[in-house]
Structures are given as structure tokens and as C-alpha cells.
Structure 1
Amino acid sequence: MALLDGKRVAFLLTDGFEDSELTAPWEAARNAGAEAHLVSPASGTVTGEHGYTQAVDASTRATSADDFDALVLPGGVGNADALRLDAEAVRLAHEFFAQHKPVAVICHGAWILADADVLSGRTLTSYPSLKTDLVNAGATWVDEQVVVDQGLVSSRTPDDLPAFTARMIEEIAEGPHSGQTA
């Protein structure tokens, strides 16, 4: 039996994502036994910054955190900026915190968490240019390869993917965290 057998993991993104920040965590989740699902405000397929395309499995409008065990938020400037402007994507991100479910976020993916109003009192990392936005949303920002705070896993850049995916798998396997709150 694999570590994540029976777990359903939502990957929330749209066009402009950082390709490796989708593909590496997706592969890690699937290799650990999870079902991975791409959720997006876009329909059909989404395209990454470097041309990787993948089919969308479900729309943000038709999806709830009730449908999944964990959430992964890849980065990419265009992706992150578009998601934070999409009310359904913000609602969905907020729901995962409200239900105490693990959330893994890398690079610019953390931007949506400021809009979802889930960062007060939390510690995380991100791409350095997000520091001010995340601090203004109530977070403590640190410059570390990977940070885990009560089910919230965060990393800075694609260089951190090996550490990020390992901790992501660990937190998803642990399941809900009472400290993961909205």
C-alpha cells in the first residue's frame, strides 16, 4: 500500500503556471498513490510558462474542498496573479484551510493565500518578491527551502522542489491538522 492510497489531491492553477511546479508535485503525489486532479477557472487545457500543457479535470466553480484531501498551489507569476483575481479560486483555497486540510504552495502560488485571508499568525516562505504582501496579510515570512506550519507546506522556487515534494507527501499523509485554520 502506497503512502497516499485513497487520497484525492487538487492542483489549483491556470495558464502561466511554472511547469516544474506542477509536474514534480503531481508526479510525487501519483507515485505515492494519490489521485491528482487539475482544478482551474480555465476549461479544456492549461499551458505553463515553458509550454507544458495539461487537461483540466474540474472547474473552480463546480469544485469544493469537500471533494479532496489536500490542495497544491503551483507558482508562476501569470498563474498566481490570475488565480487571486478569481473569486471561485479564492473561495476554494479558503475552504481547504477552514476544513483543516493540508495545503502545499510554492513560489508565487502563495499570492492567493493573502486574498483568501488565511495567513494571520502563519509562518511560510515564497518567492522573495511576495514577502511584503504575505507579511501585510499577517504572515511571518522566512527565507528557507521549505517551511511546514500546521499542515501548510511552502517553498521558494523550483530549486526547492525535492524538499517541497517530500514534505508535501508527509503532510498529506498525516491528514487534517487542527492548526490549519481560516
Structure 2
Amino acid sequence: MPKINESKILIIATHGYEQSELEFPRDQLRVKDATVHVATPDGEAIKGWEGSDWGREAEADLKIADAKVEDYDALVIPGGQINPDLLRVNEDAIKLVKAFHDAGKPIAAVCHAPWVLVEAGIAKGRKMTSYHSVKTDVINAGAHFEDSPVVVDQGIITSRNPDDLKDFVSKIVEEVEEGEHARKAA
């Protein structure tokens, strides 16, 4: 079983990510000595969204297309309205999410990011939560919606909004330390 301080976590995001939903998990996992990389569509820095305007930049470590599932222990997808909407139409991002799923590795999606899980076809039959405006999409994808701070189903971790980030990160740590998850097909 991997310990969090020996793990490598990948965050995938693009412009318009919810500032706290990328920074809080990235920084808290690094405080726990996990290696955390950020992958973006072009491998370049991305700009966040905070409140009602653009926020700070996040440095990128690699392109999403260059990320290899075997190099990481878990995948984290921040929300915001813009970021997951762009990622769910990014072929490389969807392929990567499916690869993490098929490998049984934890996948964590917060706020609007369950849209990406829906697009990857891994929501059906799972217990999930999301931001309230995404609830109908999650249900229509065949997931069992729960209005809870964090919901886990076979290593698929979902949370509703920035208020849930402490629970979200705690569950990421727990799931990484449990190791790979045998999954039935979505």
C-alpha cells in the first residue's frame, strides 16, 4: 500500500479552474510530501478563476497528452465552470481519465468536474456528488446522486464545492493509501 508521502498525484486542468479547487488539493497534498504535478492541454501555465474574475496562474509540469497513468497513484480534477467544460471536450483528458479508471487508481473530481467523469463514461451506477447545477447531468449519466461533502465509490471521489475541500483532500489521501481499486465496469 502506498503512503501519501511516497505517492505521485496528477492534477489535470486548463484555464478557468476554480482557484481554490486546484490550489488547496495541490498545496495540501504537497504538505503531506506527495509529489504533485499539474498537466495542462499545452503544458503551459494556466489562469484560474476566483470570485467573479480571473485569478492567479498555476504552473504546469507537463502536457495532458504526455501524462502516463503508470507514473501516478491518483488523478485530481478541479472544478469551476470553465475548466471541466473545456476538459470534457479534450480527447487527451478523456483518454487519461479512462486510463486511470481502467487501472483502478483513485480519481477525484470536485464541483463541476464530475462533468469530465460523465463524458469519460464512468459515472453510470456509481454514487457521486457534484455542484448543484451539475446534479441533473450526473443523474442523467446513471449515477446515484448524494448531497454530501464527499462521496466515494470504488475509488471515485467526488465533492460539491470549495467548502468541501478539507474532506475532499482527506478522502484522496485515504484512497491513495488503500491502493488500486478493483472496479466493475461503469
What SS does the corresponding residue of 2:180 show, helix, strand or coil? coil
How do residues 55-94 of structure 1 correspond to structure 2 at under 5 angstroms? Answer: 55-94=59-98
On the 8 A contact 1:15/1:46 being kept in 2, the answer is: yes
Q: Provide TM-score, normalisation by structure 1.
A: 0.94
1:15 aligns with 15
- 2:149 match: 145
Q: Secondary structure at the match of 1:9?
A: strand
Where do 1:41-56 residues align within 5 Å?
Answer: 41-50=41-50, 51-56=55-60
Q: Give yes or no for contact 1:14–1:79 (8 Å, CA) kept in 2.
A: yes
d(CA) in 2 for partners of 1:60 and 1:49?
A: 20
Q: What's the offset of the Cα at 1:171?
A: 0.8
Secondary structure of the corresponding residue to residue 76 of structure 2: strand
Q: Could you give the per-residue CA deviations for residues 104-134 of structure 1, whole angstroms, max 9, x where no partner exists? A: 1110111111110111210110001111211
Distance 1:5 1:169 in 2: 10
Supply the distance in 2 between the matched residues of 1:153 and 1:28 (Cα, whole angstroms): 16
Mapped partners of 2:184, 2:65: distance in 1: 23
Unaligned runs of 5+ in 2: none
Task: Give 5+ residue unaligned stretches, structure 1.
Answer: none
The correspondence for 1:157, drawn from 155, 158, 161, is 161
Q: How many residues align?
A: 181
- Cα 1:143–1:125, aligned 2, differ >3 Å: closer, same or farther? same
Q: Distance in 1 between matches of 2:110 and 2:184?
A: 17
Is 1:40 the counterpart of 2:40? The answer is: yes
Give the letter aligned to residue 149 of structure 2: Q
- In structure 2, the CA distance between the partners of 1:40 and 1:124, relative to structure 1 (3 Å rule), is same
Identity of aligned residues (%): 39
Determine the C-alpha separation between the residues in 2 that align with 1:78 and 1:137.
20
* Distance in 2 (alpha carbons) for counterparts of 1:180 and 1:12: 24
User: Partners in 1 of 2:103 and 2:5 — Cα distance?
Assistant: 20
Tell me what 1:178 maps to: 182
Deviating beyond 3 angstroms after TM superposition, the runs of 4 or more aligned structure 1 residues are: none
Please name the residue that 1:100 is paired with: 104
If the length of structure 2 is used for normalisation, what is the TM-score?
A: 0.92
